Amino acid sequence: MSNIKSVATLVVGGGIGGLAAALALAQRGRKVHVIERAPEFKEVGAGLQLAPNASRALARLGVLDSVWKTAVFPQQLVWMDAPSGEHVTSLDLGEKFRGLYKHPYIVMHRSDLLEALLQACQANVNISLETNKHVIDVMDLGDAAEARCADGSAYRCELLVGADGLHSVVRSALVGASEPVCSQYVAYRGTIPMDRMSTHAGVDNVMMWTGPNMHLVQYPVRRGELYNQVAVFRTYNYVPGSDDWGTQEELVRRFADACPDVKDALTMIATNRRWPLFDREPIREWTRGRIVLLGDAAHPMLQYLAQGAAQALEDTLALADAVAEHEHDLARALEKYTSVRRPRTARVQHTARIFGEIIHMEPVGAEVRNELLAHRPGDEFSAVNWLYAA
């Protein structure tokens, strides 16, 4: 193939993980070229929660000040019972929380975070960016790697980073093609102007309303100008290979026994697009030769711990640190990276599944759960310390 461009480091995928990886590697002196399948660098979705481990990573990347301009800093994570409307428990995010973790809990619009990373990449002379590049094949060449695109172009590099998401082509080249695991849950999400916000929540909280096989999450984004809402439920009609499930009708049925505040919120959620929820089992092989995975390409997880973006950000720093430490031995660098990240991300993947089961319990189990949590202090952080302090 004659149309082969040589680059030092190639990042496949220009989402949050891909741009953060480019920035982390470039800040340590590597030349990085990012290719994105879409016509522009753009995030699809709405709100995003960034726990202290994520905001700590953003600080190391040098973009936290930019993120600060559009972020919201909630004071509490509030867990409510969706059928009864009663308070279950809360996690205080104020002074004691920040004192412990040194960084805040942030909520923001996904596109605002991507824009902050994009601007930082555009300002870095070690980074070049290219869109409309659909990678269809990746090859391990031993001391190099190659990515081939649908338009006939190709890129040869000494390090190839697969940050191309849930349906990663790079992952398929490493471990073989496979379908992600469908949780049989689906989400409807979107933002509304703050003046249309339901009266129950307030601008200082992340609200989570849970019930049997469903939940609703609400929080402000973009300086408090918008209100993000996500309704999640288990479908009645899942059939493998079918796309006819998780309908608007099912949404209404699943939330039929919810309290008035939740039902009122549902009337303001966009239903023009549904988002099926997938993850995968943890894998051992994140690398082959000069090819490596990060983010959802390596460890897609269910959203229940709000850690997808956070774990991708952690990946980028661990990868850049390992490459900088072993810059003349990339095989050793990639081995170091995976040995650090594999156990932690696997734990997050499994814990997200378990937490999903806990929040979606049937009434009898939910009653026991709520009673156990009723007297838990809001400033008790032991349950999340392993996640946020790392």
Give the residue ranges of DSSP H helices in 256-362: 260-266, 308-325, 330-359
Residues 17 and 377: their CA atoms lie apart, in Å, by 35
Nearest to 294 by CA among 37, 1, 12: 12
Predicted TM-score (pTM) of the model is: 0.96
- Amino acid sitting at position 372: L
Residues 71 and 53: their CA atoms lie apart, in Å, by 16
Residues 283 and 129: their CA atoms lie apart, in Å, by 30
Q: Phi, psi (5° rounding) for residue 35?
A: -120, 135
In tens digits, the chain (390 residues) has pLDDT values of 558 999 999 999 999 999 999 999 999 999 999 999 999 998 877 899 999 999 999 999 999 999 999 999 999 999 999 999 999 999 999 999 999 999 999 999 999 999 999 999 999 999 999 999 999 999 999 999 999 999 999 999 999 999 999 999 999 999 999 999 999 999 999 888 888 776 655 568 999 999 999 999 999 999 989 999 999 999 989 988 888 899 999 999 999 999 999 999 999 998 888 999 999 999 999 999 999 999 999 999 999 999 999 999 999 999 999 999 999 999 999 999 999 999 999 999 999 999 999 999 999 999 999 999 999 999 999 999 999 997
E strands of the chain, at which residues? 4-12, 32-35, 47-50, 76-81, 87-92, 106-109, 127-130, 135-140, 145-149, 154-162, 181-193, 205-211, 214-221, 226-234, 275-279, 287-288, 291-293
Nearest to 306 by CA among 3, 124, 145, 74: 74
Which domains can be identified in the chain, with CATH numbers? 4-45+111-179+281-356 (3.50.50.60)
